[in-house]
Chains A and B, each alone.
Chain A
């Protein structure tokens, strides 16, 4: 579900703005959508408490170690961080420091 939530955050400017403005509220609504599925491809999903904390704190190292798709993770990290939290140059450095200890986790889903 982590890949899905990152994908849905980054998919539209509206979703990205909502996630950045109030991440807990966005995730609450996202999980609520999962309980009211619209066929055939329900939006939303459910998250573990650890996954939720990692998303709320922008803990890219933990998200990487959990086996998220690296491409999706980088796109997500860039979209939620730049501009605003940091420059792209700062993100490249901090992202590398975050994922480096975890090597290459299996991202088979």
Chain B
């Protein structure tokens, strides 16, 4: 049987990533410290596969075809789109995938009850998948399974559905017959705005939401997280806050346990999320 060895929730802000090498970015000292801490922890877990839960930012998936939840099922996959290289300096690369685990998570040839995923045999990952990997495992040496969630283009699945996704993935990973050590990484935001009046204000668009959100994770308070993350509340916190829902998936996937590390790290890009679950 496979084992979930760790669950991480982390930022994927590409502007932050591109600013990390700037020696003047002293506001990112906390990010550097948290990243180092989590990277070391992840390395010690000795995972042999990583499942990444993230939301394509209208790079691969657009409104001509927009699945609510999709699993990438491929042995090799492209990463980084040309406009991300142009905008953020992220370099295109290829990753290895765990086709068999992806197929198992989908439910095999006759889809398992409970979750009807879309799938892609040619996933092309954007920064929402890659920045967390570059932060946590810059060697990019682990085969991965991408789980795409629509948290950018309404209608967006509700928070309870994101929690159900976590529970479903937890059970599916634990029943995979091959003996894998599975690291799960959720990618998202706290309160965040892009393309609206509150973008780039050098602070969080909604510090109160951030404070509540971190406490939900620290306390393992899944029901409060669900209740406090309806569409209107997330919109009020910032028009890109929907990706917080991926952390609700993480908490459910971690069995609803309290995060052993939970922080919204203040930066010029807002409060950036860092969560880890060791008790699984």
Binding site for B on A (CB under 8 A): 3-4, 7, 10-13, 16, 41, 64, 69-75, 77-79, 92, 95-96, 99-100, 103-104, 107-109
Contact B199 A96 (CB under 8 A): yes
Chain A binding surface SS class:
helix
The yes or no answer to B268 lying at the interface (CB within 8 A) is no
Question: Using a Cβ–Cβ cut-off of 8 Å, how many residues does chain B contribute to the interface with A?
Answer: 25
Q: How far is B193's CA from A95's CA once the two chains are assembled, in angstroms?
A: 13
Contact B197 A96 (CB under 8 A): yes
Q: How far is B153's CA from A109's CA once the two chains are assembled, in angstroms?
A: 8
Q: How far is B62's CA from A32's CA once the two chains are assembled, in angstroms?
A: 21
The number of residue pairs between A and B whose CB atoms lie closer than 8 Å in the complex comes to 71
Q: How far is B87's CA from A16's CA once the two chains are assembled, in angstroms?
A: 13
Q: List 9 A-B contacts (CB under 8 A).
A: A3-B62, A4-B63, A12-B83, A70-B196, A70-B239, A78-B87, A99-B196, A104-B235, A108-B154
Binding site for A on B (CB under 8 A): 57-58, 62-65, 81-83, 86-87, 152-155, 193-197, 199-200, 235, 239-240
Contact A12 B62 (CB under 8 A): no
Q: How far is the CB of B176 from chain A (nearest CB, A)?
A: 33
Q: How far is the CB of B67 from chain A (nearest CB, A)?
A: 14
Q: Which residue on A lies nearest to B153, using beta carbons?
A: A69
Q: How far is the CB of B74 from chain A (nearest CB, A)?
A: 20
Q: How far is B152's CA from A108's CA once the two chains are assembled, in angstroms?
A: 10
Q: How far is B194's CA from A31's CA once the two chains are assembled, in angstroms?
A: 29
